[in-house]
Structure 1
Amino acid sequence: MHAMNRRLSMFRSAVPLALLLVLLTAFHAAAERIQLDIASSGVRKLAVAVPSFANGSGNPNSAAGKDIARLVISGLEFHGFIQIVEGSTNGADYVVQGRYSSMGGQMMVEASLLDTAAGKTLPTRQFRGSAAQQDDLVLRLVDALVEDFTGEPGISRTSIAFVSDSTGSKEVYIADVLGRNVRQITRHNHLCVSPRFSIDGSKLAYSSYHRGNQNLYITDLNQNRTTKAISRREGMNLAPAFSPDGRTMIVTLSRDGSPDLYRMDMQGQILDRLTQGSGINVSPSFSPDGSQVAFVSDRSGKPQVYVMDIGSKRTRLLTLQGKENVEPSWSPKGDKIAYTSLTSGRYHIFTIPVGGGSPTRITSSYGDYESPTWSPDGKQIAFARKRNGQMELCIIHANGKGERTLFRLKGNQSYPRWSPRRN
């Protein structure tokens, strides 16, 4: 009860949790098996062997070839439907047959999938580029191999933005989904919260208190510097939801008293006010087509998720169960919304059909869960999990299977946000 009252108090003080294809014909059967594995715990994972990549001379035991194979293994395992066969190809459903070469500062990496049962090999996937970009080339290859399995490119080259207190203050960081290449984005030495990627992934918006007010900033990730303060209006300036066309954003401002949703252009100029005088309105999340926005309001007396048609401003209540429902995140497939719900004294992640209906709880183990964010392919959800006073980032399949830690870093990690796919 104490935890519930504390979290509701946070919401009331306007600091809510989120601040606030066609498959290759020869591979069709395998793809079906993978999809069944993702949808049901009753189907085993595909057994895949990834031997060391052979170099240009045909040597299968070079140090670089082993490093490449290890990264391929990490990338494939991340997607959750593959079990790696180690030390041998015996018992493998598929074998990744990989090769690489490097010369004059340039690199080539390629691989094909051998179906051991059918004795057939899929067409080779090949990528070339600067040797300095070796890991990126390898992960491009991984995402192509995932596409061979499922008909949709993988997401091993995506990133997670999050907040960490590892330096003593809550700052914004970015890491790739395999837990590598951790970058500290902000150095305000004040509370930073709710990072949000722009639609093209080149910029990151967040809220910070470092000038004594809760202001909204955008950092250019290519230059790793703060380019501008989008909004320094008096009161709350909460991190935005970017529209799918990249032209506008919806933010929460309290410039006229109560926190309300406003639509802005990318320069921070107000275009429209979407809510007015109906309690606290926070945590916007656009539908994939940009016509609707999910958000949280306590207009009914307690925080609930609502959906608004942006053109008409017609609003409907989406969630009915739970004592507190916050942090909506719209699936990129457009069919579901994930959110955080206070149920039986614990915070858990639920999904609910966009049109309404019965919610589904997807987290079930011990702890409190918050800040859900969808993977770009709509198959996984990342979130923050708190256990024994420690908060870490985790992921789970959208059906609630396969919960696991995303990566472990010093301190507490919170407010995860998944990046778009990279070109």
Structure 2
Amino acid sequence: MKKDAFVKLFNFFIFVVISFLFFSFTPQEEPLKHPLEKHLKNIRQLTFGGENAEAYFSFDETKLIFQSTRDSFECDQIFIMNIDGSNLRLVSTGKGKTTCSYFLPGDTEIIYSSTHHISEKCPPKPDYSKGYVWALDNYDIFKAKADGSNLRQLTNTPGYDAEATVSPKGDKIVFTSIRDGDLEIYTMDLDGKNVKRLTYEKGYDGGPFFSWDGKKICYRAYHPKDSAEIVEYEQLLKDGYIKPMKLQIFVMDADGKNKKQITNNNAANFAPFFHPDGKRIIFSSNMHDPKGRDFDLYIVNIETGEIERVTYFPDFDGFPMFTHDGKKIVWASNRNSKKRGETNIFIADWVD
């Protein structure tokens, strides 16, 4: 009996050792990655809890600026953190509602849109009895130092001025405004001067980003065609809303010329961003989901229109941005959320 017990104990010891060695030296599947996400590697989660979105790299790519509803805040405020998620700090006023933040060249200044000058309270939440709508709150675009101090107002027109981003050349801000009665794309200098309108077709044109050489702009657009669509669009606009159920990706020159539609489907395609090769655009879309609730990242060839799916997580993935060398990507996702509606910021190595 003693011998049998010793053999059993010895065999159990060998089993434990072999198991330890196997699990120590056998590569394990990345827990944050879907098996089909071949373009993503070494995914790291940077925020944990709340609603975090639209994270964009600083020009030196050591920091991220993003909007977040967290802690005691009832609506979005602007935060900056290092690209490893450390040194998180609030840089907006903590009042009103903010959106669409971006660094300026040199990373000593930032821009973002805010409603705090209209009211210190959060704007009313959208009226979803009208369907799934985005509220066109009374945003203006502000500039501040990177710590939030020395806040200055760049736009001062009634209604919506938001969705501002900056050219990699460091000379222009591109943004969306309702100043002329419709949602159009404009550019202006970094001090808010020399405003120029780029789009003129009826409907929503927005979410613009410059190409890496500053010569092109990609954006999302909804241009209602028949009379019923036009009537619905105009009524929603009058009520301060837009229904983002059908959005297509477009490209134009930085001066508004040579507009070209890139996607052509019945989906909501949004958040486009140029790959550094200048030949592709990454964006978010629900094109694969008949119910329209699941958004994933896709990348499209500008010339051929060929589309490749990038993410496969069964919920939301959106707001992607590459580093200038195309080796890293940051985006917002519902993956690994602890409760419904939680959205966090993730960064990963990009594998072409």
Alignment TM-score, normalising by the size of structure 2: 0.65
Which deviates more from structure 2 when the two are superposed, residues 176-185 or residues 363-372? 363-372
Residue of structure 2 in register with 1:303 after alignment: 247
Q: Are 1:381 and 2:329 counterparts?
A: yes
What is the count of residue pairs matched by the alignment?
Answer: 251
Counterpart-to-counterpart distance in 1, 2:169 and 2:60:
24
- The answer for the alignment partner of 1:294 in structure 2 is 218
> 2:305: which partner in 1?
357
Question: What SS does the aligned partner of 1:390 have?
Answer: coil
Match for residue 81 of structure 2? Answer: 175
User: Given the alignment, which residue of 202, 217, 241 partners 2:142?
Assistant: 217
Partner of 1:251: 175
Q: Within 2, Cα distance between the matches of 1:350 and 1:320?
A: 14
Q: Is 1:278 matched up with 2:202? A: yes
Greater mean deviation of Cα atoms: 285-294 or 203-212: 203-212
Bigger relative contact order (CA 8 A; separation at least 6): 2
Q: Secondary structure at the match of 1:382?
A: strand
Distance 1:396 1:383 in 2: 9
Query: 1:18-417 to 2 correspondence within 5 Å?
Result: 158-166=62-70, 167-169=72-74, 170-212=76-118, 213-221=138-146, 223-299=147-223, 302-311=246-255, 313-321=257-265, 323-343=267-287, 344=289, 345=292, 346-386=294-334, 387=337, 388-399=340-351
Moved over 3 A (4+): 79-82, 396-400
Instruction: Please state whether the residue corresponding to 2:314 is helix, strand or coil.
Output: coil
Q: Could you tell me how far 1:283 is from its partner in structure 2?
A: 0.8
Q: Relative to structure 1, is the Cα distance of residues 234 and 394 closer, same or farther in structure 2, using a 3 angstrom cutoff?
A: same
Work out the CA distance in 2 between the residues paired with 1:208 and 1:157. 24
- Cα deviation, 1:264-309, whole Å, max 9, x if unaligned, reads 1112123421111431111111111111110111016631110002
- Give deviations 1:85-115, integer Å, cap 9, x for gaps: xxxxxxxxxxxxxxxxxxxxxxxxxxxxxxx
RMSD between superposed Cα atoms in Å: 2.6
Structure 2: stretches of 5+ with no match in the other structure: 1-25, 28-39, 44-58, 119-137, 226-245
Q: State the Cα distance separating 1:250 from its structure 2 match.
A: 1.4
Which protein is richer in strand relative to its size? 1
Q: 1:240 and 1:230, CA in 2 relative to 1: closer, same or farther beyond 3 A?
A: same
The structural deviation recorded for 1:375 is 2.4
Aligned mates of 1:201, 1:321 — CA distance in 2:
38
Identical-residue share of aligned pairs (%): 24
| Alpha-carbon displacement from aligned partner over 1:44-103 (angstroms, at most 9, x marks no partner) | 99xxxxxxxxxxxxxxxxxxxxxxxxxxxxxxxxx9579xxxxxxxxxxxxxxxxxxxxx
Shift of 1:332: 3.0
**What TM-score does the superposition give when structure 1 sets the normalisation length?**
0.55
- Contact kept, 8 Å, 2:115 with 2:140, in 1: the verdict is yes
**How far apart are the structure 1 equivalents of 2:67 and 2:193?**
27
Q: Which amino acid aligns with 1:161?
A: I
1-side partners of 2:191 and 2:151: how far apart?
A: 11
The 8 Å contact of residues 217 and 226 in structure 1, kept in 2 or not, is answered as no
